Amino acid sequence: MTGASAGIGAATARELARRGFHVLAGVRRDSDRTPLQARDIEPVILDITDAGHVAALAARVERDPRPLRALVNNAGVPGAGPVEVMPLSEWRRIFEVNLFGHVAVTQALLPALLRGNGRVVNISSLNGKISMAGYGPYAASKFAMEATSDALRNELAPHGVQVVVVEPGGVQTEMSRAGLAALTRLGDGMAPEQHARYGALMRAIPAHVAAFTKAGVTADVAARRIAKAVTDRRPRTRYTIGATAAFLIRASRILPDRMLDRMTTSDLRRHYPTDDRGRTTPRVPIRGA
pLDDT tens for residues 85-120? 999 999 999 999 999 999 999 999 999 999 999 999
> Cβ contacts of residue 282 below 8 Å, gap of 6+?
200
Residue 176 has pLDDT above 90, yes or no: no
Q: What is the chain's length?
A: 289
- Residue type, position 97, single letter: V
* Residue 124, pLDDT score: 97
Asked whether the predicted pLDDT for residue 264 surpasses 80, the reply is yes
CA distance 232 to 266: 37
pLDDT at 288: 38
Question: Per-residue pLDDT for 49 more than 80?
Answer: yes
What integer best gives the mean pLDDT of the chain? 92
Structural domains of the chain sorted by starting position, each given as residue range(s) with its CATH number in brackets: 7-269 (3.40.50.720)
Q: If you average pLDDT over residues 171-184, what whole number do you get? A: 78
| Per-residue model confidence (pLDDT) at position 216 | 87
pTM of the model: 0.91
Residue 26: which of 8, 47, 12 has the closest Cα? 47
Which pLDDT band, with edges at 50, 70 and 90, does 285 fall under? very low
Helical spans, DSSP H, in the chain: 7-18, 33-36, 51-63, 88-95, 101-115, 136-156, 175-178, 180-188, 192-214, 219-231, 243-254, 257-269
Residue 182 has pLDDT above 90, yes or no: no
Nearest to 167 by CA among 253, 88, 84, 226: 226
pLDDT of res. 177: 65
138 classed as catalytic = yes
Residue 278 banded pLDDT, cuts 50, 70, 90:
low
The string of pLDDT tens digits covering residues 205-263 is 999 998 988 888 999 999 999 999 999 999 999 999 999 999 999 999 999 999 999 99
Q: Which pLDDT value is given to residue 277?
A: 53
Cis peptide before 282 (omega within 30 of 0): yes
Please tell me which residue in 138, 198, 239, 272 is annotated as part of the active site.
Answer: 138
